[in-house]
Amino acid sequence: QVQLVESGGGLVQAGGSLRLSCVASGSIFSVNAMGWYRQAPGKQRELVAGITSGGTTNYADSVKGRFTISRDNAKNTVYLQMNSLKPEDTAVYYCNAAVVTTTTRVKYNYWGQGTQVTVSS
The single-letter code of the amino acid at 117 is V
pLDDT for the residue numbered 1: 87
pLDDT for the residue numbered 57: 98
67 has pLDDT over 90:
yes
- What whole-number distance in Å separates Cα of residue 99 and Cα of residue 96? 10
**How high does pLDDT run on average in the chain?**
97
> Cβ(35)–Cβ(48) under 8 Å?
yes
The confidence band for 16, taking pLDDT boundaries of 50, 70 and 90, is very high
Mean pLDDT computed over 85-94: 98
